[in-house]
Amino acid sequence: MLTKDLITKNVDLNKKIFIALSGGPDSTALLHLLSTINETNKLELKAIHINHNLSKNCFIWEKHCEDMCSKLAINLQTESVKIKSEGGGIEAASRRARNKIFENILHDGDQILLAHHSDDVAETVFMRMLRGTGAEGMEGPQIKRMIGKGILIRPLLSASKQEILNYLNENNIKYIKDESNHSNEFDRNYIRNKIFPLLEERWKNFPKRINNAAQIFRNRNNIYSELMYEKYRHIIGKKIRLNEIKELPDSKIADILRYSIKECNISSPNSKIIEEIIKTFIHSNPGSKSTVSWSRSDKEEVAGKIEYQEGYIVISKR
């Protein structure tokens, strides 16, 4: 059920709140929930609509958002971007453009709210699983994470798409429909429109099952992280002494590398890169020219590299 509690338990109402508003059902429901809270709490609230200029209807959507915010007496900031697909496709390029805008507008402690829901979690986890993600990837999107100087928050992650639609219908709230959601050219749409309906026929509440699994992974990872840091905190960091890890099993070395890279705020390498790092620096005799580098194809996170320096392996941005 979609209630104000989803927001009040995840969002600091005393700090500035931005909401990413596309005009679609999810962000529209989130905007209206915030509007009801604003009636009694007087929030420092602002909506931001980003026109990606990818649809012939993009200016209709922008006008819809302007009218909706005007009716609710909520300030709206509009931004226009030109999308260039440089890696990872149009979806990833659009996400990079949005995140860059968010980083530019957020100051210390500011919050940007996104309307992702539990069906989005299921799709994300399923896509990551197909790509061979590790245990952390199986957690799905985080409710909160840092973005620039601010905080990105997804308060609706425990609500389903159907609950959002029910809320909109019950309150007679209008929203726009993005025609691109029906294009199975995009991986996420293909999974949503083709794969999930088939799985749902045989395994009822399939998205909920994935969400349950994601929560189990999240709990497991939290416990494992605590144990890892307790045992290896003297090793984990941007400089790792080779003599301190050479005798450990490869699986332990891999985790020490992942946690160390995570602490450096660098994109996590995939399993193949981790294997290459271990082969280069642990199972061989590394020298000053030994290096392994990596990046994400969608370029959303900082690329990294590991080099050898006088008995240490050193992690840095590429």
Provide the β-strand partners of residue 97: none
- What are residue 176's phi and psi, to 5 degrees? -95, 160
In the chain, how many domains are there?
Answer: 2
pLDDT at 89 over 90: no
Distance between alpha carbon 308 and the CA centroid of its chain, in Å? Answer: 32
Is 295 within 8 Å of 303 (Cβ atoms)? yes
Per-residue buried b or exposed e for 175-201, using 16+ beta carbons within 10 Å of the residue's own CB: bbebeeeeeeeeeebebbeeebeebee
CA–chain centroid gap for 163, Å, is 22
Asked whether residue 284 is assigned to any structural domain, the reply reads yes
> Which tokens is 276 given?
């290459």
Confidence of residue 88 (pLDDT cuts 50, 70, 90): low
For residue 142, pLDDT over 70 is answered with: yes
Residue 221 in domain: no
Does 209 reside within a domain? no
pLDDT in tens, 42-53: 899 999 999 998
E strand or H helix at 293, and its extent? strand 291-294
pLDDT at 300: 56
Is 211 contained in some domain? no
Task: Answer with the residue of higher pLDDT: 143 or 132.
Answer: 143
What pLDDT is attached to residue 106? 97
Are residue 246 and residue 184 in the same domain, yes or no? no
Residues 261 and 159 placed together within one structural domain of the fold: no
Pairwise CA distance, residues 290 & 274, whole Å: 15
pLDDT 10s digits, 67-83: 999 999 999 999 998 88
On the question of pLDDT at 182 being above 70, the answer is yes
**Residue whose pair of structure tokens reads 């159907």 in the numeric block:** 162
pLDDT at residue 180, rounded to an integer = 81
Q: Tokens in use for 86?
A: 């440089």
Q: How much is the pTM?
A: 0.86
pLDDT in tens, 112-141: 999 999 999 999 999 999 988 888 889 999
Of 26, 78, 85, 75, nearest in space to 54 by CA = 85
Q: Which domain holds residue 257?
A: 233-317
Looking at the predicted structure, is the pLDDT value of residue 91 above 90? no
| pLDDT of 266 higher than 90 | no
Q: In what order do the strands lie in the sheet with 291-294?
A: 239-241, 312-317, 304-309, 291-294
Predicted confidence band of residue 262 (pLDDT cuts 50, 70, 90): confident
Q: Specify the CATH number for the domain of residue 239.
A: 1.20.59
Give percent above pLDDT 70 in the chain. 97
Query: Are residue 47 and residue 177 in the same domain, yes or no?
Result: yes
Q: State the pLDDT at residue 209.
A: 95
Q: What CATH number has the domain bearing residue 174? A: 3.40.50.620
d(CA 291, CA 83): 33
